[in-house]
Amino acid sequence: MKAKNLKIYIITVFAAILAFTSCTKDLDTVPLDKDVVTSASVYDSPASYRQVLAKLYAGLAVSGQEGPHGNNDLSGLDEGFGQYLRAHWYAQEIPTDEAIIAWNDGNLRDFHEQDWSSSNEFITNLYYRIFYQISLCNEFIRESSETKLNERGISGANKTEIQTYRAEARFLRALSYWHALDMFGNVPFVTEDDIVGSFFPEQINKADLFDYIESELLAIEDLLMAPMVNEYARADQGAVWMVLAKLYLNAEVYINTAKYTECITYCKKVTSAGYELESTFENLFLADNHNAKGIIFPVAFDGIHTRTWGGTTFIIHAAVGGTMDPAEFGINGGWGGIRTTKTLVSKFLNVDNLKSASLNLKTVADYPLLYVPGGHQGWDPSNTNTVLASVNSDGNYEGYLYFADADNQFKYTDGPTWDVNYGDTGADGTLEQNGDNIVAGDAGYYKLNVDLNGLTHSFLKTEWGVIGSATPDGWDSDQDMTYDVDNDVWTIIVELSAGEIKFRANDGWDLNYGDTGADGILEAGGDNIAIADPGKYEIKLKLGAPDYTYTIEQFSSDGRIMFHTDGQSLEIAEVFEFTEGYAVTKFKNVTSGGVIGSDLTFPDTDFPVFRLADAYLMYAEAVLRGGTGGDAATALSYVNALKERAYGDQNGNITAGELTLDFILDERARELLWEGHRRTDLVRYGRFSNTDYLWAWKGGVAEGRSVDSKYDLYPIPASDIGANIKLVQNPGY
């Protein structure tokens, strides 16, 4: 009986457990999130291939699956700094004469000091971005093979389309491997033949990697679409040729073998493909630069759809600071980070002939103010841009204001409110509290004087000019300046000889300014201003409220000069002060039509990775370096094509004798400033490390110093040396 009962228990228990055991199938879960699919099913749909391809391109533009940050592609790295293009830009620009950065994040300063180590987080960012991109490309290439497409029953137009995608993925992988070769040298090597997992990839040497990149690019050349046929922002043959040209141009650096002839071959493919130079240089760097001609391969950004803290968001925001008006750049505020060095400015201008630009041009000085509300500014007594100042704090105020309209009316207020306001009842020069509005008369630029002690005022319409022994007409008559309404300055571009100048109003000496003490602040009747060297100059006179200031810069009509100098010094005494070093105004989130992009934080501006102008310059350089298949005349015509675009005329053109390798390097700096080529160019010219070519703060000292040649390559990050036993560090690190 006991045994029987036991049996019943056992059966009951078994039945119960069996009933529940079936629940173990619950353990086979699949993701519920509609944003997640398993790799087992993702490639069943042809549309997915396009979306995965888009991710490969987006790998250059955004940092994760949420913009501008969130759901990061990588871990342990900052999303802003870790974005591909930004990490690449840091590595290519900050260690060169083209850029210096005012931020002190982590080991960021290592870049301009050229003393980075294998633990530098920014180098680590770049390295992992490159290899992330490579592994993503590998995944797609693996999953889009002929065999796999056939297995999945994909055929016809879909299949053809996907095969093009696959070739583009191979291009993107080759591009990243080229970055790896250029910046890291001998790197781990993985292809679509490796599986996803954790293994120790072999380190490939530079020569083999060079061969691999070359063979890949040659293999896909005919698989990609012809130039300018593919959808915007996707790679085509032009992009392949550009990477090949780059690879060959730098082959001596990479593999100690000259390949200039091959470089010329591929430059010629580019130049004969039908690309045209964009006629307006600055359009290449604006919010609508997807319409600009001559961009062979961009990284595309968009204020709404493609948001990142890297890319052009970084380049545009970080370049704005000091007195720069963010609105002019189509952004909500500058980050005050990157400027350029005097060495770079000197590629455009004779820096010895720059005058006073280093002084701070203040909009409002620290003097007692009298406010001038009126029709010229919307009757706003709190507007500090329309004020007079009392330099001696004695109740006598003066200043200059521009009245755009005839019969402009205004009043004076003793403070930013209407509480105490003065008008001139009867227009008799005597002020009355709450008196009638004052009427100026003609439109123009007026000097206003108010004596609050005696309650009198006067105003005088002025036209300004420069005069002096340095000017074409000497001290006899002045050269008229023109008023720039937007910037509230009088300007003139004039050919000067060595000598002196002064500013005077209304073609007479009643009202004139010189600079006593040469401190950049003008005094009425002050000393003459010396001009040391003859040349063409741009002179600016800034009046407004005292103090009055001016700048004199040697003028170049090279339209590629895009510096903001107001309030910026040329010299850099303090690396972390944005106002030291000229600011660069090249990239903007404003369209060629002057319209701000779709968002103030995230620009629409695309980044031009490869441009036709680069191909022109590579062609010229390869010819000069002895490559065959090209000719000097064509080289000269290419360079002059760029010059003519920059100058708008042939004044900047050079002669065959002037076309030298040094000229090319400088011209690359002028044409391709901040476009991510500089480190590679300087290394190729032997002017990066171990050289007397110096610039401010190179090597961490103000005057610059030469650094060890090991810095021509970046170190492989310590974390990967630790993770992969097969890696050998680059020499010297």
Partner 1 sequence: MSIVASVFGQEISVSGKVTDAADGTPLPGVNIVEKGTTNGTITDTDGNYSITVGSNATLVFSFVGYLRQEVAVGNQTTINVSLEFDVQALEEVVTIGYGTTRKEDATGSVIAISSEDFNRGAITSPQELIAGKIAGVQITNAGGAPGAGSTIRIRGGSSLSASNDPLIVIDGVPVDNDGISGMRNPLNTIHPNDIETFTVLKDASATAIFGSRASNGVIIITTKKGRANRPLTVNYDGNVSIGTRTGEVDVLSADEYRSLIQEQFATNQNATDLLGSENTNWQKEIYQTAISHDHNLSLSGSVENLSFVESLPFRVSLGYSDQKGILKTSGLDRFTGAINLNPSFLDNHLRINLSAKGMYIKNQFANQGAVGSAVAFDPTQPIFDASSPYGGFFTWTQPNGDPITIATSNPVALLELRDDKSTVKRSIGNIQFDYKFHFLPELKAKLNLGYDISESDGDIFVPENAAWLYNALVGGGEKRLYTQNKKNELLDFYFNYVKDLGSFDSRIDATAGYSWQHFWRKGTSYSTNVAETIVNADTDYETESYLVSFFGRLNYVFKDRYMLTFTLRQDGSSRFSEDNRWGLFPSVALAWDIADEPLLGISELFNSLKLRLGYGITGQQNISDNDYPYLARYTYSEDNAQYQFGSGFVTTLRPEGYDANIKWEETTTYNIGLDYGLLNNRFSGAVDLYYRETDDLINFIPVPAGTNLTNQILTNVGDLVNKGIEFTINAKAISKADMVWEIGFNATYNENEITKLTATDDPEYLGVFTGGISGGVGNNIQIHSVGFPANSFYVYKQVYDEDGNPIEGLYVDTNGDDQLTVDDRYRYKKAAPDVYLGFSSLFQYQNWDFSFAGRVNLGNYVYNNVYSNNGTYSGLYNSVGYLNNVTTSLLDSKFSNPKYWSDYYMENGSFLRLDNLTLGYNLDNIINGVSNIRLYGTVQNVLLITKYQGLDPEVSSGIDNNIYPRPRTFLFGVSVEF
Of 33, 193, 486, 692, the one binding partner 1 (CB under 8 A) is 33
Considering the complex, what minimum distance in angstroms separates the CB of residue 162 from partner 1?
14
Print the binding letters for residues 381-400 with partner 1: x by CB under 8 A, - otherwise: -x------------------
Q: Which one of the spans 190-198, 249-257, 457-465, 474-482 is the region binding partner 1 (CB under 8 A)?
A: 190-198
Q: Which is nearer to partner 1, 393 or 417 (CB)?
A: 417
**Does 193 help bind partner 1 (rule: CB under 8 A)?**
no
Beta carbon nearer to partner 1, 71 or 393: 71
| Chain center to CA of 547 | 33
- In the chain, the N- to C-terminal Cα span, in Å, equals 83
Measured CA distances, 394 to 12, 424, 453, 525, 526 (Å): 107, 21, 8, 21, 21
Query: What is the nearest approach in angstroms of partner 1 to the Cβ of residue 184?
Result: 10
Query: Alpha helices of 648-717 — where are they, by DSSP H?
Result: 661-672, 678-684
List 57, 210, 266, 464, residue binding partner 1 (CB under 8 A): 57
How many residues form the binding site for partner 1 (CB under 8 A)?
125
In the chain, the amino acid numbered 38 is T
Binding mask 215-254 for partner 1 (x = CB under 8 A): ----------------xxxx--------------------
**Alpha-carbon torsion, ordered 230, 234, 238, 241, to 10 deg:** -140
Least Cβ distance, residue 426 to partner 1 (angstroms): 34
Closest contact distance (angstroms) between CB of 296 and partner 1 is 16
**Rounded distance, CA 664 to CA 503, Å?**
40
Contacts of 409 (CB under 8 A, 6+ apart): 374, 375, 437, 438, 439, 440
Give the C-alpha separation, 190 to 197, whole Å.
12
- At 2, is the secondary structure helix, strand, or coil? helix
Among 611, 651, 659, residue whose Cα is nearest residue 633: 659
CB nearer to partner 1: pick between 28 and 428? 28
CA dihedral 7, 13, 17, 18 (to 10 degrees): 30
Q: Give 558 or 720: the residue with its C-beta nearer to partner 1.
A: 720
Residue with tokens 């470089």: 263
Q: Of 416-475, which residues contact partner 1 (CB under 8 A)?
A: 416
The interface with partner 1 within residues 70-129 (CB under 8 A) comprises: 70-71, 73-78, 80-82, 102, 104-106, 108, 117-119, 121, 125, 127-128
**What pairs with residue 422 in β-bridges?**
412, 433
Residue among 290 and 461 whose Cβ is closer to partner 1: 290
Reading the block at residue 685, the tokens are 């010219």
Q: Which residue has the tokens 């591929």?
A: 266
| 558 lies in the binding site for partner 1 (CB under 8 A) | no
> Taking the complex as a whole, how short is the minimal distance between the CB of residue 598 and partner 1, in angstroms?
8
Q: 307: helix, coil or strand?
A: coil
CB of 669 to partner 1, least distance (A): 25
Q: Does residue 37 bind partner 1 (CB under 8 A)?
A: yes
Beta carbon of residue 49, minimum distance to partner 1 (angstroms, whole number): 9
Does residue 502 bind partner 1 (CB under 8 A)?
Answer: no
Give the other-Cβ count within 10 Å of 442's Cβ: 11
Q: How far is 527 from 525, CA to CA, in rounded Å?
A: 7
Closer CB to partner 1, residue 451 or residue 599?
A: 599
Q: Are 423 and 439 in contact (CB under 8 A)?
A: no
Q: Which is nearer to partner 1, 203 or 691 (CB)?
A: 203
Name the minimum Å distance from CB 32 to partner 1: 4
With a CB cutoff of 8 Å and minimum separation 6, the contacts of 555 are 493, 535, 536, 537, 538
Q: Is 725 in the site for partner 1 (CB under 8 A)?
A: yes
* Angle formed at CA 659 by CA 658 and CA 661, multiple of 5 degrees: 120
Using CB under 8 A as the binding rule, the residues of this chain from 295 to 324 that contact partner 1 are: 300, 302, 304-307, 317, 321-323
Nearer to partner 1, 322 or 465 (CB): 322
Q: Which of 4, 9, 256, 594 binds partner 1 (CB under 8 A)?
A: 9
Sign of the alpha-carbon torsion through 144, 150, 153, 156? positive
Cα gap 391→547, rounded to integer Å: 8
Residue closer to partner 1, measured from CB, 137 or 664: 137
What SS3 class is residue 374? strand
**Distant-in-sequence, close-in-space partners of 109: CB < 8 Å, separation ≥ 6:** 101, 575, 700
The only residue of 84, 171, 189, 400 in contact with partner 1, by rule CB under 8 A: 189
- Told to check if 493 binds partner 1 by CB under 8 A, we report no
Minimum distance between the CB of residue 313 and partner 1, rounded to whole angstroms? 12
Is residue 58 packed enough to be buried (19+ CB in 10 Å), middle (13-18) or exposed (0-12)?
Answer: buried
Which CB, 580 or 621, lies closer to partner 1?
580
161 in contact with partner 1 (CB under 8 A): no
d(CA 176, CA 255): 18
Segment contacting partner 1 (CB under 8 A): 67-75, 83-91, 152-160, 614-622? 67-75
Select 216 or 302, whichever has its Cβ closest to partner 1.
302
Q: Residue 694: name the closest of 123, 112, 250 by CA.
A: 112
Supply the minimum distance, in Å, between the C-beta of residue 455 and partner 1. Answer: 28
Helix (H, G, I), strand (E, B) or coil at 219: helix
Shortest CB 239 distance to partner 1, Å: 14
**Which of 46, 159, 326, 592 is the binder for partner 1 (CB under 8 A)?**
326
Residue 200 in contact with partner 1, rule: CB under 8 A: yes
| Nearer Cβ to partner 1 (335/410) | 335
Query: Could you give the string, one character per residue 263-302, with x where binding to partner 1 holds by CB under 8 A and - elsewhere?
Result: ---------------------------x---------x-x
For the chain, give the longest Cα–Cα distance.
Answer: 136
By CB under 8 A, residue 201 contacts partner 1: yes
Among 95, 185, 188, 465, binds partner 1 (CB under 8 A): 188
Residue that the structure tokens 């006598």 belong to: 396
* Separation CA 716–CA 733 (nearest Å): 9
Q: Is 65 in the site for partner 1 (CB under 8 A)?
A: yes
> In angstroms, what is the minimal distance from the CB of 721 to partner 1?
8
Asked whether position 369 contacts partner 1 by CB under 8 A, the answer is no
DSSP state of 394: S
Axis crossing angle, helix 156-184 with helix 206-221, rounded to the nearest 10 = 150
Told to check if 332 binds partner 1 by CB under 8 A, we report yes
* Angstrom distance (rounded) from CA 342 to CA 620: 26
Rounded to a whole number of angstroms, the minimum distance from the CB of residue 138 to partner 1 is 8
- Binder to partner 1 among 196, 229, 420, 656 (CB under 8 A)? 196
With tokens 């060959």, the residue in question is: 248
Q: Which of residues 567-626 bind partner 1 (CB under 8 A)?
A: 576-579, 596, 599-601
Cβ atoms < 10 Å from Cβ of 409 = 17
